[in-house]
């Protein structure tokens, strides 16, 4: 069990690693809903320290530690809560929506306006826009690709890793790749970005962790911000922040008289199948 592993390895940790361990041991249920950046701030350490501690206790990374922690906690009977606090789960619809609203507004603290406009410029100049997300992120990648196509942008998206890699190998340097990866640690996404860079293709990264390895491979990073994981981190993590980024891209791509008007032709074709 991960908590036992932390206690066993505690004596071998540095002072900074012990602060991370102390925080996890004192509030494991909160850590399951945290991003790595949020944990490093809470423990007054760094993302690198969090990663070192995770590997020291036998986990491959922070995401894997959270999964192990969630499994361990779900197997234990839930202790009664002494009181409701700011980190407790909301118990009514209004509170849930309030927390969700606060999360969306927090994007403005981490999203770089210049990076948004850089991404828009890359989109306008692109011949083909490859949009990729692996696993859970594939749904937001498909959302952006389909809506860009509706605006008249030539897009390519697929959930097949082999298909996207083969397509990138024969792509043109005028193309761009947009990658969605929440943690920035997906090996499939990293390999996709590396292939794109080898082909001279610019990469736009949409992620929660701009300091990850994926961040080092990107030409432009759009940070979704720290998320209050009300749905948990077990395959049902909210994609609301990524979808808001999609809306931002589409809004500024088509705003102020600079819209890509070829999208009207696609609407004419599709209209034949609408009542």
Task: Identify the CATH number of the domain in which residue 39 sits.
Answer: 1.10.10.10
Of 115, 140, 111, the closest CA to residue 240 belongs to 140
Asked if 47 and 37 touch (Cβ cutoff 8 Å), the reply is yes
Of the pLDDT bands very low, low, confident and very high (cuts 50, 70, 90), residue 3 is very high
CA nearest to 194, candidates 216, 211, 175: 216
Question: Does residue 262 or residue 84 have the better pLDDT?
Answer: 262
How does pLDDT run across 184-224, given as a tens digit for each residue? Answer: 888 999 999 999 999 999 999 999 888 888 999 999 999 98
Tell me: do 11 and 135 sit in the same domain: no
How does the average pLDDT of the chain come out, rounded?
84
pLDDT digit string, tens, across residues 94-111: 888 888 888 888 888 888
**Cβ pair 31, 24 in contact under 8 A:** yes
Please count the other Cβ atoms lying within 10 Å of the Cβ belonging to residue 176: 23
Lookup: tokens for 187: 């090996």
> What percent of the chain stands above pLDDT 90?
51
Task: Answer yes or no: is 207 within a domain.
Answer: yes
Residue 86 lies in a domain: no
Q: What is the CATH number of the domain that holds 149?
A: 3.40.50.10490
Residue 270, token pair as written in the block:
């599709």
Owner of token pair 């969090």: 50
Statement to judge: residues 55 and 138 lie in one domain: no
| 266 and 147 within one domain | yes
CA angle 261, 104, 102 (to 5 degrees): 155
- Considering the domain architecture, whether residues 61 and 122 belong to the same structural domain is answered as no
For the residues 2-31, what does the mean pLDDT come to? Answer: 91
Looking at the structure, tell me whether residues 26 and 131 fall in a common domain: no
Most confident of 72-86, 185-199, 235-249, 253-267: 185-199
Give the other-Cβ count within 10 Å of 206's Cβ.
Answer: 28
Residues 140 and 47 in one domain: no
- 140 and 211 within one domain: yes
Assess whether 115 and 236 both reside in one domain. Answer: yes
* Alpha-helix runs per DSSP H in the chain: 2-9, 15-26, 28-31, 36-42, 47-56, 62-74, 93-105, 107-110, 113-125, 138-150, 161-169, 187-198, 213-216, 240-253, 263-270
51, 151: one domain: no
101 located within any domain: no
What pLDDT, in 10s, does the model give residues 51-89? 999 999 999 888 888 888 888 887 655 444 443 444 556
More confident residue, 155 or 272: 155
- The whole-number average pLDDT for the span 11-22 is 93
As for how many domains the chain has, the answer is 2
- Specify if 96 maps to a domain: no
Q: Cβ atoms within 10 A of the Cβ of 61, count?
A: 16
- Give the residue numbers spanning the domain of 45: 2-75
Residue 47 lies in a domain: yes
Summarize the confidence of residues 142-152 as an average pLDDT: 92
Pair 115, 13 in one domain: no
| Range 129-151 average pLDDT | 93
Coil, helix or strand at residue 176: strand
Instruction: Check whether residue 69 and residue 140 sit in a common domain.
Output: no
Q: What is the reported pTM?
A: 0.69
């Amino acid at each position: 069990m991960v908590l036992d592993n932390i206690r066993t390895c505690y004596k071998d940790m540095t002072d900074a690693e012990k602060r991370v361990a102390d925080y996890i041991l004192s509030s494991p249920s909160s850590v399951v809903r945290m991003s790595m950046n949020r944990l490093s701030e809470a423990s007054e350490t760094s993302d690198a320290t969090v990663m070192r501690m995770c590997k020291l206790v036998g986990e491959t990374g922070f995401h894997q530690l959270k999964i192990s922690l969630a499994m361990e906690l779900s197997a234990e009977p839930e202790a009664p809560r002494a009181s409701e606090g700011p980190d407790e789960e909301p118990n009514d619809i209004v509170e849930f929506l309030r927390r969700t609203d606060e999360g969306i507004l927090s994007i403005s603290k981490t999203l770089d306006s210049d990076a948004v406009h850089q991404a828009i410029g890359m989109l306008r100049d692109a011949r083909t826009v490859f949009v990729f997300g692996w696993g859970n992120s594939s749904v937001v990648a498909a959302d952006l690709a389909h809506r860009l196509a509706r605006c008249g942008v030539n897009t390519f998206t697929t959930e097949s890793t082999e298909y996207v890699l083969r397509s990138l190998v024969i792509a043109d340097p005028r193309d761009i790749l947009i990658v969605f990866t929440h943690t920035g640690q997906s090996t499939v996404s990293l390999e996709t970005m590396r292939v794109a860079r080898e082909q001279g293709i610019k990469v736009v990264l949409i992620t929660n962790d701009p300091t990850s390895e994926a961040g080092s491979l990107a030409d432009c990073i759009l940070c979704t911000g720290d998320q209050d994981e009300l749905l948990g981190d077990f395959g049902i993590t909210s994609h609301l922040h990524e979808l808001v980024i999609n809306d931002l891209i589409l809004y500024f791509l088509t705003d102020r008289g600079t819209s890509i008007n070829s999208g009207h032709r696609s609407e004419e074709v599709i209209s034949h199948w609408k009542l």
